[in-house]
């Protein structure tokens, strides 16, 4: 594993963004609730898993999608992979809307957009060897090669992910390998398609701490070498700060804040992002006080009206209970969906209160910049 400068790839020219490779435009996904008798007159009950989410993935750039379990972040990744049909909205690949639920169109889509799953132990068929799993991927995406050619493809893939010599791994069963090795192999499986977009769903959450960095560096290297886009889905906002250029935070199916990772983590604007950051273990903070929170994510069958965070939000106003917040741009590229940033008397007062609270929580860290207040 190379010891890599972690600021690599962070510098990017703002303002002259290239075209996004893959884009979610106002994507909504409702899952029907099974069971229970349908009541007359009422609509079928649904889980509002993802609500009106837009997201852009750029070539050669890693975008983090941060949220707790149930925030809809994994569902969004699967929607981008076309594993589920959308309820509404669009997924665009190079600006062209994609609807590819099955068959040839679906395979065409997944050959360009590959999903990497969280649990390396679960994502391999336990009764198949590594070679046979990889051979299947090679057979799909390198259909024109013969048997020897596919073996060469597999060797090449394993070499790219630093599992050498490849022969030492191909004949093993999944349970004979470590989590880190398996996760590298699932990256190799995604590489077989030579995709333009990687959707990595918590790729390192179930790995040991000391080997996470190696896998993340591998993913970063692959993204840069191939100029591919990557969505890095994670619950660990600290890793998003180090690993991703942009960070989007989701709560209860909605995007609450998005922007450059450094801005989102250092000048978190949305009270939920602030709570998330204050809750993360961080010895460097010392004994600084924390936000007291005893709440829980809401039910997504009957989500709260207005802002979905308002029942837990210490700064909630009347407006938050009634209206869904719109997006406010705080600095270039950094937006928050929170009424605190509206330009009216009450919001200004609450915003000042929020800034004071956040300043108290941090030791030696400046309060969030407030571009609208000047």
Partner 1 sequence: MAIRSAALAEAETTADLVDGPSRLWRRLLHSPLTCAGLIVTLVFLVLAVIGPWIAPYDPSTVSNSATAAPSFAHWLGTTQNGQDVFSQMLYGARASMLVGFGSAVVTTVLSVLVGVTAGYLGGTGDELLSLLANVFLVLPSLPLTIILAAYLPHSGSLGVILVISVTGWAWGARVLRAQTLSLRKRDFVEAARATGEKTSRIIRKDILPNQVAVIAASFLGTVTAAILTQASLAFLGLTDVTQWSWGTILYWAQVSSALLTGAWWWFIPAGLAIALVGTALSLVNFGIDEFINPRLRQAGIGTKKAQRAQVRRRWTRRVKYRRPTGARPATVPFTVDSTDVVLDVRNLRVEYVNGTARTPAVNDVSFTLRRGEVLGIAGESGSGKSTLAYAITRLHKPPAEISQGEIVYTGPDGSAVDVLSMPDEQLRGFRWEELSIVFQSAMHALNPIMRVGEQIEDVIRAHRPGLSVQQRAARIVELLGIVGIPADRAGSYPHELSGGMRQRAMIAIGLALDPEIIVMDEPTTALDVVIQRQIVEKIMELKDKLGFSVIFITHDLSLLIELSDTIAVMYGGKIVEMAAADDFYQRPRHPYSRGLLASFPTLGGPKRELTGIVGSPPDLRRLPTGCSFRPRCPVAFDDCSTVEPALYQLHAPDSGPSEAACLLYAEGAQQELAMGEVK
Kindly identify the residues of this chain, within the stretch 20-49, that bind partner 1 according to CB under 8 A.
none
Question: Burial, 278: exposed, middle or buried (Cβ in 10 Å; 0-12, 13-18, 19+)?
Answer: buried
Query: Contacting partner 1 (CB under 8 A), which of 12, 45, 142, 172?
Result: 172
Query: Contacting partner 1 (CB under 8 A), which of 14, 16, 284, 302?
Result: 284
Looking only at the bridges linking them, the beta strands covering 62-66 and 229-234 are parallel
Query: Contacting partner 1 (CB under 8 A), which of 17, 18, 69, 99?
Result: 69
Query: Contacting partner 1 (CB under 8 A), which of 31, 45, 68, 372?
Result: 68
Is 142 a residue that touches partner 1 (CB under 8 A)?
no
Torsion of CA 85, 87, 90, 93, to 10 degrees: -20
Query: Contacting partner 1 (CB under 8 A), which of 19, 176, 225, 329?
Result: 176
| Cα–Cα distance, 111 to 277 (Å, whole number) | 36
For partner 1, the binding residues in 207-226 under the rule CB under 8 A are: 208-214, 217
CB of 343 to partner 1, least distance (A): 30
Contact 310, 319 (CB under 8 A): no
Q: Which is nearer to partner 1, 61 or 141 (CB)?
A: 141
Is 315 a residue that touches partner 1 (CB under 8 A)?
no
Torsion of CA 66, 19, 24, 234, to 10 degrees: -20
For partner 1, the binding residues in 112-131 under the rule CB under 8 A are: 114-115, 117-119, 122-129
CB of 237 to partner 1, least distance (A): 7
Query: Contacting partner 1 (CB under 8 A), which of 53, 62, 110, 230?
Result: 110
The contacts of residue 39 (CB under 8 Å, 6+ apart) are none
Stretch of 15-23, 171-179, 219-227, 320-328 contacting partner 1, by CB under 8 A: 171-179
CB of 172 to partner 1, least distance (A): 7
Is 313 a residue that touches partner 1 (CB under 8 A)?
no
Is 270 a residue that touches partner 1 (CB under 8 A)?
no
Q: How many CB atoms lie within 10 A of CB 373?
A: 11
Query: Contacting partner 1 (CB under 8 A), which of 25, 238, 324, 369?
Result: 238
3-state secondary structure of 323: coil
H helix runs in the chain, sequence order: 73-80, 103-110, 130-141, 147-160, 167-170, 179-191, 209-226, 237-243, 261-266, 271-279, 318-322, 345-361
Q: Which is nearer to partner 1, 41 or 292 (CB)?
A: 292
| Cα–Cα distance, 219 to 200 (Å, whole number) | 9
Query: Contacting partner 1 (CB under 8 A), which of 29, 48, 73, 141?
Result: 141
H helix runs in 255-303, sequence order: 261-266, 271-279
Tokens of 65: 């999608």
Q: Which is nearer to partner 1, 69 or 326 (CB)?
A: 69
Dihedral sign computed on CA atoms, order 165, 168, 169, 171: positive
Stretch of 42-50, 106-114, 147-155, 329-337 contacting partner 1, by CB under 8 A: 106-114
Stretch of 15-23, 329-337, 349-357, 362-370 contacting partner 1, by CB under 8 A: 362-370
Stretch of 14-22, 147-155, 169-177, 224-232 contacting partner 1, by CB under 8 A: 169-177
Tokens of 347: 């919001």
Query: Contacting partner 1 (CB under 8 A), which of 241, 310, 334, 351?
Result: 241
Looking only at the bridges linking them, the beta strands covering 254-260 and 334-337 are antiparallel
Q: Which is nearer to partner 1, 21 or 244 (CB)?
A: 244
3-state secondary structure of 180: helix
Query: Contacting partner 1 (CB under 8 A), which of 39, 40, 147, 175?
Result: 175
Q: Which is nearer to partner 1, 319 or 367 (CB)?
A: 367
| Cα–Cα distance, 354 to 317 (Å, whole number) | 12
Contact 144, 132 (CB under 8 A): no
Q: Which is nearer to partner 1, 170 or 354 (CB)?
A: 170
């Amino acid at each position: 594993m190379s010891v890599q400068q972690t600021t690599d790839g962070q510098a990017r020219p703002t303002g002259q963004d290239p075209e996004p490779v893959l884009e979610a435009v106002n994507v909504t996904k409702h899952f029907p609730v099974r069971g229970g008798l349908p009541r007359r007159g009422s609509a079928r009950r649904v889980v509002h898993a993802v609500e009106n989410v837009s997201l852009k993935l750029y070539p050669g750039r890693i975008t983090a999608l941060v949220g707790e379990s149930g925030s809809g972040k994994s569902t969004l990744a699967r929607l981008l992979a076309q594993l589920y049909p959308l309820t509404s909205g669009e997924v665009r690949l190079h600006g062209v809307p994609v609807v590819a639920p099955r068959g040839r169109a679906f395979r065409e889509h997944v050959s360009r957009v590959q999903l990497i799953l969280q649990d390396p132990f679960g994502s391999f068929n336990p009764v198949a060897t590594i070679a046979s799993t990889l051979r299947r991927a090679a057979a799909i995406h390198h259909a024109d090669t013969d048997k020897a050619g596919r073996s060469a493809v597999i060797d090449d893939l394993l070499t790219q992910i630093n599992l050498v010599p490849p022969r030492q791994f191909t004949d093993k069963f999944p349970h004979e390998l470590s989590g880190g090795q398996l996760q590298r192999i699932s990256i190799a499986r995604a590489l077989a398609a030579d995709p333009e977009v990687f959707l990595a769903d918590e790729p390192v959450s179930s790995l040991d701490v000391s080997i996470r960095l190696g896998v993340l560096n591998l993913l970063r290297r692959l993204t840069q070498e191939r100029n591919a886009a990557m969505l890095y889905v994670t619950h660990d906002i600290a890793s998003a700060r180090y690993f991703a250029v942009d960070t989007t935070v989701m709560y209860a199916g909605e995007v609450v804040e998005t922007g450059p990772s450094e801005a989102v983590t250092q000048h978190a604007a949305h009270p939920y992002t602030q709570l998330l950051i204050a809750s993360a273990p961080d010895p460097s903070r010392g004994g600084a006080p924390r936000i007291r929170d005893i709440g829980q994510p809401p039910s997504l069958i009957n989500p709260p009206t207005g802002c979905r965070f308002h029942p837990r939000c210490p700064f909630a106003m009347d407006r938050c209970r009634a209206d869904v917040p719109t997006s406010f741009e705080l600095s270039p590229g950094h937006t928050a969906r929170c009424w605190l940033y509206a330009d009216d008397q009450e919001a200004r007062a609450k915003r000042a209160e929020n800034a004071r609270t956040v300043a108290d929580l941090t030791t030696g860290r400046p309060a969030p910049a407030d571009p609208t207040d000047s």
